[in-house]
């Protein structure tokens, strides 16, 4: 058995792990990064990037199909899934190469193999021990299923959906959260008959109710079927298809059932419990400085309870690197992390929902909703949707919620407004370029500041 040592040993090279590695290296620390699969993790290889490539291909298909409404004649001959997959894979592989180059440039000691936490701050890989002055756990998450629902064959997860080499005719999507809604959106654009089943009363149930209603309206127009507030009871598959049963007694026949019921922490079988790491339902709780219960052992990303998003993982990784380098970084405010669902239309938000704000600040919470019907650029794009602001009583804007095509790109401004605790009066005088969709944010703040421009109050 041989030993290596470093200032920081990291288990898992996904968003959280590699961000910590790069930032620590920039700060002059020696880093060992252990990865059993591919640097980049879920987001790059099975998550954010490939799904957004599919969503863009879907947008292109919609544009081709709907071009006549802009006076442009095209013929839509269908979707060549091999071509779509080639496009998607070319993006992933270009970014993967870039990431490998960055790891080299930062002189990160990249160890390929499966690591086991063996106690202290030591991880063992193929008989070799890597001990850090500090250890960071960043082993990510996996697609969950429901009790009694066995994955395989026609019952698939997002990992399988990303590698399909054909376009199914009919799909049932179990779960109306971000991942389910994004795949439903892609498939609908590819001409698939899609039904979403969600046990909670609305799609994207973690968003403000306003956003769910807007999205549901748009999905109805797009003929995406959805059943909300109803429990799934079982699925049976054979050579011809899968039959999905609901508690209501309804059944649906489909080619595939996509199970998108959330992601569980990938924390089993890595020696965590044996090493004395405190766990809560498989997750690794941390304090606000991302410390676990064990000395000099930190955790980031999807294994830490909270939002499972790549940019949260990036920021947490940077935080841990700066923390161990003694820079005393500011703890991360979870509510200040922007959230985007990249469906057609998109749903984007930062801060508190109206309900959460009322719980925190009482009934004096103010809201204002600006319809994209009044926004020139949205009309040019022929997208509908709205912007909703939530304001604390006599206080700043504490929640921003947007629905509409491309509104994900507006979340940067929304995030500054929330994180800088801006009052409507601070934002109202800021000039928004015309015609852009950002004007919708400007108009909503003008209205909340008592000086609406293109709105009758
Ligand atoms: C379909 C889908 C779409 C998504 N879209 C978005 C999006 O648009 N935007 C967004 O912000 N987030 C998105 N996410 C979520 C995002 O991918 C995750 O939040 C992010 O990848 C979490 O980063 P992480 O570092 O915690 O874990 P991961 O990225 O999962 O990385 C963990 C790494 O650890 C490695 N590992 C695990 N165990 C071991 C071991 N014992 N030894 C060695 N290596 C190990 C794994 O191989 C993996 O590479 C999406 C996720 C999915 C599934």
Query: Is the pLDDT confidence value at 457 over 60?
Result: no
pLDDT confidence of residue 223 = 98
Pocket test residue of 15, 144, 321 for ligand 1, highest count of atoms within 8 A of CB: 15
Asked if 393 and 247 sit in the same domain, the reply is no
- pLDDT, tens only, 224-270: 999 999 999 999 999 999 999 999 999 999 999 999 999 999 999 99
Q: What percent of the chain has pLDDT over 70?
A: 99
Whether residue 26 is contained in a domain is answered as yes
**What's the 360 CA to ligand 1 centre distance in angstroms?**
32
- pLDDT, tens only, 383-430: 999 999 999 999 999 999 999 999 999 999 999 999 999 999 999 999
Ligand 1 atom closest to 14 (CA)? 31
Asked if 208 and 356 sit in the same domain, the reply is no
- Could you tell me the two tokens for 457? 């109050």
Query: Is the pLDDT confidence value at 4 over 90?
Result: no
Task: Identify whether the C-beta of residue 262 lies closer than 8 Å to the C-beta of residue 227.
Answer: no
Q: Taking the CA of residue 203 as centre, how many other CA atoms within 13 Å lie in the half-sphere pointing to its CB? A: 30
**What's the 309 CA to ligand 1 centre distance in angstroms?**
8
Q: How far apart are CA 441 and CA 93, in angstroms?
A: 36
Q: pTM for this one?
A: 0.97
Asked if 270 and 138 sit in the same domain, the reply is yes
pLDDT confidence of residue 454 = 83
Q: What is the number of structural domains in the chain?
A: 3
Annotated binding residues for NAD(+): 175-182, 198, 262
Whether residue 147 is contained in a domain is answered as no
Task: Identify whether the C-beta of residue 111 lies closer than 8 Å to the C-beta of residue 125.
Answer: yes
Ligand 1 atom closest to 141 (CA)? 30
Ligand 1 atom closest to 113 (CA)? 43
* Beta pairing class for 155-156 and 256-259: parallel
Whether residue 138 is contained in a domain is answered as yes
Last residue of some domain: 261, 291, 325? 261
Asked if 431 and 442 sit in the same domain, the reply is yes
Ligand 1 atom closest to 38 (CA)? 49
Q: What percent of the chain has pLDDT over 90?
A: 98
Pocket test residue of 10, 11, 14, 53 for ligand 1, highest count of atoms within 8 A of CB: 14
Last residue of some domain: 261, 282, 307? 261
The set of catalytic residues is: 434
Whether residue 457 is contained in a domain is answered as no
Mean pLDDT over all residues of the chain?
A: 97
Whether residue 455 is contained in a domain is answered as no
| pLDDT level of residue 2 (50, 70, 90 thresholds) | low
Query: Is the pLDDT confidence value at 126 over 80?
Result: yes
Q: How far apart are CA 171 and CA 259, in angstroms?
A: 11
**What's the 42 CA to ligand 1 centre distance in angstroms?**
3
Last residue of some domain: 334, 353, 387? 334
Whether residue 408 is contained in a domain is answered as yes
**Which of 13-27, 302-316, 443-457 is the least confident region?**
443-457
- pLDDT, tens only, 289-341: 999 999 999 999 999 999 999 999 999 999 999 999 999 999 999 999 999 99
Asked if 221 and 196 sit in the same domain, the reply is yes
Asked if 39 and 12 sit in the same domain, the reply is yes
**What's the 435 CA to ligand 1 centre distance in angstroms?**
37
Pocket test residue of 43, 91, 125 for ligand 1, highest count of atoms within 8 A of CB: 43
Q: How far apart are CA 11 and CA 18, in angstroms?
A: 10
CATH of the domain at 361: 3.30.390.30
Query: What is the DSSP-derived secondary structure letter of residue 378?
Result: H
Asked if 286 and 393 sit in the same domain, the reply is no
CATH of the domain at 38: 3.50.50.60
User: Which residue minimizes the CA distance to atom 31 of ligand 1?
Assistant: 14
Q: How far apart are CA 347 and CA 313, in angstroms?
A: 21
Q: What CA–CA distances, in Å, run from 244 to 154, 219, 221, 253, 445? A: 11, 21, 24, 6, 46
Asked if 167 and 196 sit in the same domain, the reply is yes
Asked if 242 and 162 sit in the same domain, the reply is yes
Pocket test residue of 9, 10, 11, 12 for ligand 1, highest count of atoms within 8 A of CB: 12
Whether residue 150 is contained in a domain is answered as no
Task: Identify whether the C-beta of residue 119 lies closer than 8 Å to the C-beta of residue 36.
Answer: no
Ligand 1 atom closest to 311 (CA)? 11
Q: Work out the burial of residue 74: count CB atoms within 10 Å of its CB; fewer than 13 is exposed, 13-18 middle, 19 or more buried.
A: exposed
**What's the 20 CA to ligand 1 centre distance in angstroms?**
14
Asked if 160 and 221 sit in the same domain, the reply is yes
Domain residues for 443?
345-448
**What's the 77 CA to ligand 1 centre distance in angstroms?**
35
- pLDDT, tens only, 96-114: 999 999 999 999 999 999 9
Q: Evaluate the omega torsion of the peptide bond into residue 69 and state whether it is cis, within 30 degrees of 0.
A: no
Whether residue 453 is contained in a domain is answered as no
| pLDDT level of residue 456 (50, 70, 90 thresholds) | low
**What's the 263 CA to ligand 1 centre distance in angstroms?**
10
Asked if 275 and 368 sit in the same domain, the reply is no
pLDDT confidence of residue 286 = 98
Task: Identify whether the C-beta of residue 53 lies closer than 8 Å to the C-beta of residue 88.
Answer: yes
Task: Identify whether the C-beta of residue 99 lies closer than 8 Å to the C-beta of residue 18.
Answer: yes
Asked if 326 and 351 sit in the same domain, the reply is no
**What's the 444 CA to ligand 1 centre distance in angstroms?**
36
Ligand 1 atom closest to 303 (CA)? 26
- Pocket residues: Cβ below 6 A from ligand 1: 11-17, 34-37, 41-43, 46-48, 51-52, 114-115, 138-141, 158, 179, 266, 270, 301-302, 308-311, 313
């Amino acid at each position: 058995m041989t030993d290596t040592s470093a200032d920081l040993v990291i288990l898992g090279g996904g968003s959280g792990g590699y961000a910590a590695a790069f930032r620590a290296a920039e700060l002059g620390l020696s880093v060992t990064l252990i990865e059993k699969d591919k640097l980049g993790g879920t987001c790059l290889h099975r998550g954010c990037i490939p799904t957004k490539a599919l969503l863009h291909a879907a947008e292109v298909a919609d544009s081709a199909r709907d071009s006549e409404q802009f006076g442009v004649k095209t013929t839509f001959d269908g979707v060549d899934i091999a071509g779509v997959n080639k496009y998607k894979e070319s993006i992933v592989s270009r970014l993967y190469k870039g990431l490998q180059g960055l790891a080299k440039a930062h002189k990160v000691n990249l160890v390929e193999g499966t690591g086991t936490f063996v106690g202290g701050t030591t991880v063992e890989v193929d008989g070799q021990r890597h001990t850090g002055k500090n250890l960071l756990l960043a082993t990510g998450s996996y697609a969950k299923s429901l009790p009694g629902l066995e994955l395989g064959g026609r019952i698939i997860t997002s990992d399988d959906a990303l590698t399909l080499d054909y376009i199914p005719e009919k799909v049932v999507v179990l779960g109306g959260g971000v991942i389910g809604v994004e795949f439903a959106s892609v498939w609908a654009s590819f001409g698939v008959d899609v039904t979403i089943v969600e046990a909670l009363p609305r799609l994207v149930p973690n968003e403000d109710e306003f956003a769910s209603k807007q999205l549901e309206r748009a999905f109805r127009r797009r003929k995406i079927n959805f059943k909300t507030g109803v429990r799934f009871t079982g699925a049976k598959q054979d050579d011809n298809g899968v039959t999905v049963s609901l508690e209501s007694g309804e059944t649906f026949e489909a080619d595939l059932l996509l199970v998108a019921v959330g992601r569980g922490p990938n924390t089993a079988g890595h020696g965590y419990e044996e090493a004395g790491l405190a766990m809560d339902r498989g997750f690794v709780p941390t304090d606000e400085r991302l410390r676990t219960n064990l000395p000099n052992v930190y955790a980031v990303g999807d294994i830490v309870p909270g939002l499972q998003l790549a940019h949260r993982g990036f920021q947490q990784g940077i935080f841990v690197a700066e923390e161990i380098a003694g820079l005393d970084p500011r703890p991360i405010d979870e509510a200040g992390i922007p959230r985007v669902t990249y469906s057609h239309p998109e749903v984007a938000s930062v801060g508190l929902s109206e309900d959460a704000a009322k719980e925190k600040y009482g009934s004096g919470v103010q809201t204002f909703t600006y319809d994209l019907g009044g926004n020139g650029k949205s009309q040019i794009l022929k997208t509908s949707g709205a912007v909703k602001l939530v304001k604390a009583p006599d206080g700043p804007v504490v929640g921003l919620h947007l629905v509409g095509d491309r509104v994900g790109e507006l979340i940067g401004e929304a995030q500054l407004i929330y994180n800088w605790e801006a009052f409507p009066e601070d934002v109202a005088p800021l000039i928004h370029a015309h015609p852009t969709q950002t004007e919708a944010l400007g108009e909503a703040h003008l209205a909340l500041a008592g000086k609406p421009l293109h709105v009758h109050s």
